């Protein structure tokens, strides 16, 4: 079975999904993070990273969580 891959981001308008630019999709994602932070604070956020990711990817994930979000809620499957 061949799967078709999305080549552009999709955003939701009401009940419908539509194609969007990367700029619009990233702006909406950032707005969602900010909306959640304003409503619930940084402790409402958690990051889970994977041991199969590179050290650099895990570093940037924890750096984003601590420096941008302001939370220390970081976990991974590295310790299992």
Copy the structure tokens of residue 16.
């419908």
The answer to whether residue 69 sits within a structural domain is yes
The yes-or-no verdict on residue 32 having pLDDT over 70 is yes
What average pLDDT does the segment 19-46 reach? 95
Dist CA 23 CA 27 (whole Å): 6
What average pLDDT does the segment 29-58 reach? 91
The answer to whether residue 23 sits within a structural domain is no
Q: Give the number of domains in the chain.
A: 1
For 36, counting Cβ atoms within 10 Å of its Cβ (0-12 exposed, 13-18 middle, 19+ buried), the class is middle
The answer to whether residue 9 sits within a structural domain is no
The answer to pTM > 0.85 is: no
Domain range for residue 64?
43-80
Dihedral, CA atoms, 11, 73, 66, 48, nearest 10 degrees?
Answer: -50
């Amino acid at each position: 079975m061949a799967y078709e891959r999305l080549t552009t981001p999709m955003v939701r308008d009401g009940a419908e999904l539509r194609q969007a630019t990367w700029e619009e999709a990233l702006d909406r994602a950032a707005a969602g993070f900010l909306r959640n932070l304003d409503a619930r604070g940084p402790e409402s956020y958690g990051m889970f990273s994977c041991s199969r990711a590179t050290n650099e990817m895990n570093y940037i994930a924890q750096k984003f969580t601590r420096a941008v979000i302001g939370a220390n809620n970081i976990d991974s499957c590295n310790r299992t």
